């Protein structure tokens, strides 16, 4: 029996893994928190996510064996979370040390720590290559500020990393953000969008598809359209395809909404980045190198860099610093359960059904579809924040606790009351129609009814918000018949 082991979770498939050592055997585990946990929400995931984890892990197993590691692969067992799995595997066989990378998941780390403490095993946790920001630096940056702001974090991050800076330390192009240039809507004539990137369906993917068909039929989503990379070479090739085909127009159309495409000019790298096949340092360095050689517009380059070193890093830090507080908040006291129609794309609201159906088909939607279509609508419907969190976790291929706690409880549902955001992200139908080629129809009156009913319900909150005070004034100036029409439209939707 070895005296020390390395534990690897499904989201830690790094090309250079800081916890690996050929003197230690490796435990590569299909952990319940990534495949479906009987005791913790969510209890299931999109079937494509299971395919991605299974195929990438089996590929990684073969890679590690070829590199001379002694790998012990553990298939998914629904009622066996990692602490019980470790206890069962090692029984009374004592060993001294367990090496792992920080999973950036509260419950996963808690379970491993519990096992180690109960069995007197020394736990050696390395920082995750999935993130770029040193925690000591982040703690110094945020300090005791009342509210952390992404914009100031991003500016400090750029300075720390020396990215897109002139020789005098000023931002390239004279501004830290070119976001105001990145809000083009979907042209009515459409766009010439490159074909969807598709990785090869290799033997690992084929085995994973059969594995899912045998064991996960009750999980949501289709696997027919699985296209994601499951190894390092495939993920790096995916990045190159994005750079060659989409990077040029990524910025201008990153907020656009389209009836026939969720990808447009987005990279769709998150499924591979969030499991370690690509690391942010590799992505950032390659994007900067490519952009310098290919004259990529600054608004596209800066917009992409902001997503990776700004938002992605900031969200992880909000999870670590405020995650427990966020997931226990329900600022608006929303109690409505999510209806079955939200799982079947049968809400009757055209943009919602469009995005939900595509998500069921692919496990993916871009960030504005998630925030301003799905999240916006769910907030207006006053669904329970915990159910919204579970819904997003179950349906998205790139969803993990560190991603979804801040994005759901903080960004889309404002159920934390504004730990790092200053206002809820809500809109009427006009914003969606302005940013999209969505067809008009009865859905607009329902959406607007939900929007104005929400404003009317939370009038005192909006009255105190400087940036939202106009909504209160518009509501109070609205004639009573129009107000009642909005309320009736909302109630009619809830009663269906």
pLDDT digits (tens, 9 = 90+) for 403-446: 999 999 999 999 999 999 999 999 999 999 999 999 899 999 99
Q: Tell whether 334 is covered by a domain.
A: no
Q: Are residues 17 and 163 in the same domain?
A: no
At 101, phi and psi to the nearest 5?
-90, 145
Q: pLDDT tens-digit profile of 178-214?
A: 999 999 998 877 789 999 999 999 999 999 999 999 9
Q: Which pLDDT score, from 0 to 100, does residue 38 have?
A: 81
For 112, the domain range is: 4-126
Span 395-406, mean pLDDT? 98
Q: In Å, how far from its chain's centre is CA 282?
A: 19
473 and 354 together in one domain: yes
Name the domain count of the chain: 3
The pLDDT value given to residue 465:
86
Residue 39 and residue 18 share a domain? yes
Whether residues 292 and 159 share a domain: the answer is yes
Q: What does the pLDDT look like over 331-378, one tens digit per residue?
A: 999 999 999 999 999 999 999 999 999 999 999 999 999 999 999 999
- State pTM to two decimals: 0.97
- State the pLDDT at residue 242: 99
Domain-located, residue 328: no
| pLDDT tens for each residue of 121-151 | 999 999 999 999 999 999 999 987 778 999 9
**pLDDT mean across residues, the chain:** 96
The CATH number covering residue 351 comes to 1.10.579.10
- Do 165 and 192 lie in one domain? The reply is yes
Out of 126, 161, 180, a domain closes at 126
Tell me, what's the pLDDT at 363? 98
**Is the predicted pLDDT of residue 104 greater than 80, yes or no?**
yes
The CATH number covering residue 207 comes to 1.25.40.80
Give domain status of residue 419, yes or no. Answer: yes
Banded pLDDT at 467 (limits 50, 70, 90): confident
Identify whether 252 is part of a domain. Answer: yes
Q: What is the CATH number of the domain that holds 38?
A: 3.40.50.620
Residues 289 and 351 in one domain: no
Average pLDDT on 239-257 reads 97
Same domain, 101 and 139: no
Percent of the chain clearing pLDDT 90 (strictly above):
92
CB 345 within 8 A of CB 357: yes
Specify if 196 maps to a domain: yes
Q: Which of 148-152, 185-189, 462-466, 467-471 has the highest mean pLDDT?
A: 148-152
- Claim to verify: residue 227 and residue 371 sit in the same structural domain: no
Structural domain contains residue 327: no
Does the residue 333 lie in any domain? Answer: no
My answer on whether 151 and 283 are in the same domain is yes
Share of the chain above pLDDT 70, in %: 100
User: Are residues 484 and 381 located together in one domain of the fold?
Assistant: yes
| Residues 475, 384 share a domain | yes
Mean pLDDT (whole number) for 304-315: 99
Residue 329 lies in a domain: no
Banded model confidence at residue 1, pLDDT cuts 50, 70, 90: low
* Residue that finishes a domain, picked among 126, 143, 163: 126
Whether 289 shows a pLDDT value over 80: the answer reads: yes
> Quick one: 108 and 231 in the same domain?
no
> Any idea which of 15-24, 30-39, 104-113 has the lowest mean pLDDT?
30-39
pLDDT at 496: 85
Q: How far apart are CA 351 and CA 378, in angstroms?
A: 13
> What is the predicted pLDDT for the residue at 348?
97
What mean pLDDT do residues 249-254 have? 97
H/E/C letters for each residue in the chain?
Answer: CCCEEEEECCCCCCCCCCCCCCCCCEEEECCHHHHCCCCCCCCCCCHHHHHHHHHHHHHHHHHHHHCCCCEEEECCCCCCCHHHHHHHHHCCCCCCEEEEECCCCHHHHHHHHHHHHHCCCEEEEECCCCCCCCHHHHHHHHCCCCCCCHHHHHHHHHHHHCCCECCCCCEHHHCCCCHHHCCCCCCCCCCCCCCCCCCCCCHHHHHHHHHHHHHCCCCCCCCCCCCCCCCHHHHHHHHHHHHHHCHHHHCCCCCCECCCCCCCCCCCCHHHHCCCCCCHHHHHHHHHHHHHHHCCCHHHHHHHHHHHHHHHHHHHHHHHHHHHHHHCCCCCCCCECCCCHHHHCCCCCHHHHHHHHHHHHHCCCCHHHHHHHHHHHHHHCCECHHHHHHHHHHHCCCCCHHHHHHHHHHHHCCCCCCCCCCCCCCCCHHHHHHHECCCCCCHHHHHHHHHHHHHHHCHHHHHCCHHHHHHHHHHHHCCHHHHHHHHHHHHHHHCC
Domain boundary among 257, 287, 322: 322
pLDDT at 95 over 90: no
Residue with more model confidence, 207 or 88? 207
């Amino acid at each position: 029996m070895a005296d020390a082991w390395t534990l690897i979770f499904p989201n830690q498939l790094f090309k250079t893994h800081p916890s690996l050592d050929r003197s230690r055997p490796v435990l590569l585990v299909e952990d319940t928190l990534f495949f479906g946990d009987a005791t913790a929400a969510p209890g299931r995931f999109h079937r494509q996510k299971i395919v991605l984890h299974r195929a990438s892990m089996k590929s990684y197993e073969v890679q590690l064996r070829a590199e001379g590691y002694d790998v012990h692969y553990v298939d998914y067992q629904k009622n066996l979370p990692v602490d019980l799995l470790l206890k069962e595997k090692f029984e009374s066989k004592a060993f001294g040390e367990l090496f792992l990378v920080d999973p950036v998941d509260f419950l996963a780390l808690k379970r491993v720590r519990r096992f180690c403490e109960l069995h007197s095993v020394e736990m050696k946790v390395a920082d995750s290559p999935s993130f770029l920001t040193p925690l000591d630096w982040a703690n110094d940056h945020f300090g005791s500020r009342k509210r952390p702001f992404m914009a100031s974090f991003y500016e400090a991050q750029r300075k720390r990393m020396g990215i897109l800076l002139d020789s005098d330390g000023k931002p390239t192009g004279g501004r830290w953000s070119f976001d105001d240039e990145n809000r083009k809507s979907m042209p009515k004539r459409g766009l010439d969008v490159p074909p969807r990137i598709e990785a090869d369906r290799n033997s690992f993917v084929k085995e994973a598809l059969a594995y899912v068909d045998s064991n996960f039929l009750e999980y949501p989503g289709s696997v027919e359209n699985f296209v994601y990379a499951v190894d390092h070479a495939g993920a790096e090739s995916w990045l190159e395809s994005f750079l060659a085909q989409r990077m040029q127009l990524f910025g201008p159309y990153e907020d656009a909404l389209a009836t026939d495409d969720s990808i447009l000019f987005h990279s769709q790298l998150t499924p591979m980045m969030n499991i370690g096949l690509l690391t942010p340092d590799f992505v950032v360095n390659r994007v900067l190198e490519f952009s310098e050689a290919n004259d990529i517009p600054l608004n596209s380059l800066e917009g992409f860099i902001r997503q990776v070193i700004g938002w992605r890093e900031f969200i992880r830090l909000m999870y670590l610093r405020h995650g427990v507080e966020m997931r226990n908040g329900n600022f608006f006291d929303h109690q409505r359960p999510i209806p079955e129609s939200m799982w079947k794309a049968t809400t009757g609201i055209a943009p919602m059904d469009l995005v939900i159906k595509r998500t069921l088909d692919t496990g993916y939607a871009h960030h504005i579809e998630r925030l301003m279509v799905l999240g916006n609508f769910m907030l207006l419907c006053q669904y329970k924040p915990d159910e919204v969190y579970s819904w997003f976790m179950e349906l998205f291929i790139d969803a993990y606790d560190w991603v979804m706690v801040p994005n759901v409880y903080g960004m889309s549902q404002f159920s934390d009351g504004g730990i790092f955001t200053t206002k809820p992200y809500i809109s009427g139908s006009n914003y969606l129609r302005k940013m999209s080629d969505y067809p008009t129809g009865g859905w607009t009156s329902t959406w607007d009814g939900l929007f104005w009913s929400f404003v009317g319900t939370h009038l005192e909150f909006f009255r105190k918000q400087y940036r939202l005070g106009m909504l209160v004034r518009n509501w109070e100036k609205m004639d009573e018949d129009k107000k009642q029409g909005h309320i009736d439209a909302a109630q009619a939707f809830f009663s269906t």
